Amino acid sequence: MVVIWRPSAEKVVAATFAGAIFFGLPNAIPCAIADDPVIAAKNPYEGDASRAAAGRGLFNQYCAHCHGPNALSPDPPRDLRRLKRRYDENMANLFYSTVTHGRPDKGMPTWTGRLDDETLWTIFTFLQSVQAEP
């Protein structure tokens, strides 16, 4: 007779959590908290042409030094005209998470405390207006 050991679901969850702790996943946990605004990020100015125009100026003031004037970067990873193509419906979540938490490993600073949410969403409205078609 062959005995096959099958761990219970609780043991699998515990082992997964322990591995995540050991390998450094706690740095990613703040992005996965259910009440985190990143989970439900929604642009309050979506489709507002005057906000998009204002966002262009703000983008050029705060973001163009890395992402190119008017979001026209020749470097594909920094080309923000491809956000919709890359992230589709998760575009707003990714934007908000990135600008509020930063990506220090990529040189992206956090804008929390420097730009308020109104400014961030105005910039995002501009970015929505310049998305390349898939």
Number of domain units in the chain? 2
- CATH number assigned to the domain comprising residue 123: 1.10.760.10
Segments in 1-134 forming alpha helices (H)? 9-22, 49-62, 64-67, 83-87, 91-101, 117-129
Burial class for 99, CB neighbours closer than 10 Å (0-12, 13-18, 19+): buried
Has residue 29 been placed in a domain? yes
pLDDT tens-digit map of 27-64: 443 444 334 444 568 899 999 999 999 999 999 999 99
Angle between helices 91-101 and 117-129 (to 10 degrees): 140
- On whether both 54 and 120 belong to a single domain, the answer is yes
- On whether both 83 and 124 belong to a single domain, the answer is yes
Has residue 120 been placed in a domain? yes
Query: Residue 20 is part of which domain span?
Result: 10-34
pLDDT tens-digit map of 49-107: 999 999 999 999 999 999 999 999 888 888 899 999 999 989 999 999 999 999 999 99
pTM of the model: 0.70
The SS3 call for residue 108 is strand
The SS3 call for residue 9 is helix
